[in-house]
């Protein structure tokens, strides 16, 4: 599912007013709130900041009858915004991955919405919810015709309040009433895969993501990893300082980014006293990897510290500052644009990966091959999948059975074998591999298109790639490969 980057990346700056010099975590002064200030005061303060600090704000004119929204709109800058206290709390929660809810991850299949993960210690677990429960109704409203956002909005609500959830478990319906709590999703997670390859996923460059990343990387190093995959897919950004500290785990010294302010002055942000690693590093990116994700990826590419795998990134090459206002609220203001260490542009163009691969699971598999993993094991369940023992909940991976024959998506099989895939118009099939090693799969060799997705029969695939073993039953499909014997 595509997600538009919402946070960009943020630069913590000295407060605009001396009375707010303790910038801290952008707490709102008790004596000054947006409701207590006049609109005129707010407008004047916002105008002054835009006129003096915004990268293109010097020509902005104040208008006696315009609102803050109209003033900001005149900039044609989607990343400059004003937040009142409630809006700021919501925005900050999106970066820190905090929300009031019950702590479960939902999927969807022909049976409806299903709990694919129940977070340990969460209100959902305490109320008796189990993985595999189908969500029949929320607050007595049937979920059958709802969107995922509809269900999510009903489940979430004020901390400490109950929500009625009807679940179907087997042939029985149960009514459970979890009490909503403050859920903090892990901004960094992952672990060690079989084969001594580490995997670390960064969902957001939150204030503490760098500390969590450093701790998990240290543990992986202690366990003697032979390679590392850092997953930045669908990461919309966060704090620049966080990205810098993560880059310091791999880059000893040098420019992290070149910045251009309103006066066209380059103020490089530099890394000093960083570290280095002796194992290969792969960064996974896609079209929703933005801002701070692009800062880290560009630097790792420019210093040859990592190989980027995936698709072209979002292309957000601007820096926002956060300014708490004396008149109440916070102004998020674009103050700089940035270039990579080698002065590659990012804004509106994105970054091109070193290895272009489409599809969530294929990107991961190609990333693991690139990181040096020799023996792969893929287990495909109904709603989740495991790669070398590590379980993933992000997307479903379809399994297909036609005429008592087992199929998996062609892109997944190609990536599992570590081979490129191209559509063959003439044969109405796919070519897997390159050059003289290219193998055609068409209607005569197990290729099928079902609902827009290309599938290959596993038995036919093994004929061409005898080093791959497979088995399939009602519970799961398993692929394994040994060494380079594909």
Same fold, 1-97+196-373 and 98-184: no
Q: What is the pLDDT of residue 40?
A: 83
The closest alpha carbon to 241, from 285, 210, 201, belongs to 210
Structure pTM? 0.85
- 244-254 pLDDT, tens digit per residue, is 999 999 999 99
Q: How confident is the model at residue 19 (pLDDT cuts 50, 70, 90)?
A: very low
Q: What is the pLDDT of residue 394?
A: 64
Q: What is the pLDDT of residue 65?
A: 65
Q: How confident is the model at residue 206 (pLDDT cuts 50, 70, 90)?
A: very high
**Weakest-pLDDT range from 36-40, 63-67, 228-232, 321-325:** 36-40
- 124-137 pLDDT, tens digit per residue, is 999 999 988 999 99
Q: What share of the chain is helix, strand, coil (3-state, %, to 5)?
A: 25, 30, 45
For residue 272, list its beta bridge partners: none
- 413-444 pLDDT, tens digit per residue, is 999 999 999 999 999 999 999 999 999 999 99
Q: How confident is the model at residue 486 (pLDDT cuts 50, 70, 90)?
A: low
Length of the chain equals 486
Q: How far is CA 95 from CA 211, 232, 234, in A?
A: 15, 14, 13
Q: How confident is the model at residue 3 (pLDDT cuts 50, 70, 90)?
A: very low
Domain range list for the chain = 1-97+196-373, 98-184, 374-481
CATH number belonging to domain 98-184: 2.30.42.10
Cβ proximity of 216 and 228 under 8 Å: no
Q: Which CATH class is domain 1-97+196-373?
A: alpha beta
Under DSSP, is residue 244 helix (H, G, I), strand (E, B) or coil?
A: helix
Cα(235)–Cα(210) distance, integer angstroms: 14
Kindly tell me if the per-residue pLDDT of 98 is higher than 90.
no
- 101-113 pLDDT, tens digit per residue, is 999 988 888 889 9
């Amino acid at each position: 599912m595509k997600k538009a980057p919402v946070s960009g990346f943020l630069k913590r700056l000295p407060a605009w007013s001396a009375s707010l010099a303790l910038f801290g975590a952008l707490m709102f002064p008790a004596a000054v709130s947006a409701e207590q200030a006049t609109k005129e005061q707010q407008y004047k303060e916002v105008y002054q900041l835009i006129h003096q600090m915004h990268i293109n704000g010097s020509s902005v004119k104040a208008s006696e009858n315009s609102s803050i929204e109209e003033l900001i709109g005149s900039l044609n800058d989607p990343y400059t915004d004003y937040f009142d206290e409630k809006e700021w709390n919501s925005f900050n929660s999106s970066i820190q991955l905090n929300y009031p809810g019950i702590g479960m991850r939902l999927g969807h299949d022909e049976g409806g919405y299903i709990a694919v993960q129940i977070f340990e210690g969460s209100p959902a677990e305490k109320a008796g919810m189990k993985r595999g429960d189908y969500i029949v109704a929320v607050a007595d409203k049937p979920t059958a015709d709802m969107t995922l956002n509809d269900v999510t909005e009903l489940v979430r609500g004020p901390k400490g309040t109950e929500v009625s959830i009807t679940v179907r478990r087997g042939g029985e319906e149960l009514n459970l009433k979890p009490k909503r709590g403050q859920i903090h999703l892990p901004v960094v997670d992952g672990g060690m895969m079989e084969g001594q390859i580490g995997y670390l996923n960064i969902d957001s460059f939150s204030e503490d993501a760098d500390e969590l990343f450093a701790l998990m990387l240290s543990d992986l190093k202690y366990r003697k990893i032979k390679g590392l995959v850092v997953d930045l897919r669908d990461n919309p950004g966060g704090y620049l300082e966080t990205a810098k500290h993560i880059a310091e785990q791999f880059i000893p010294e040098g420019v992290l980014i070149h910045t251009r302010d309103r006066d066209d002055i380059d103020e490089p942000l530099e890394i000093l006293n960083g570290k280095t690693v002796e194992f290969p590093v792969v960064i996974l990116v896609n079209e929703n990897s933005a801002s701070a994700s692009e800062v880290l990826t560009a630097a790792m590419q420019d210093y040859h510290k990592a190989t980027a795998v995936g698709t072209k990134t979002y292309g957000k090459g601007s820096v926002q500052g956060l300014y708490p206002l004396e008149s109440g609220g916070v102004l998020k203001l674009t103050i700089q644009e940035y270039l990579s260490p080698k002065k590659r542009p990012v804004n509106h163009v994105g970054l091109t990966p070193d290895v272009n691969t489409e599809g969530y699971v294929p990107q991961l598999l190609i990333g693991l091959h690139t990181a040096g993993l020799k023996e792969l094991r893929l287990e495909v369940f109904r709603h989740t999948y495991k790669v070398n023992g590590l379980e993933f909940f992000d997307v479903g991976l379809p399994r297909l059975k036609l005429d008592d024959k087992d199929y998996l998506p062609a892109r997944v099989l190609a990536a599992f074998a570590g081979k490129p895939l191209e559509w063959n118009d003439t044969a109405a099939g796919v070519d897997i591999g390159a050059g003289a090693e290219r193998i055609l799969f068409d209607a005569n060799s197990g290729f099928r298109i079902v609902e827009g997705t290309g599938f290959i029969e596993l038995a036919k695939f093994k004929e061409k790639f005898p080093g791959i073993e497979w088995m399939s039953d009602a519970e799961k499909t398993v692929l394994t490969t040994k060494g380079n014997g594909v």
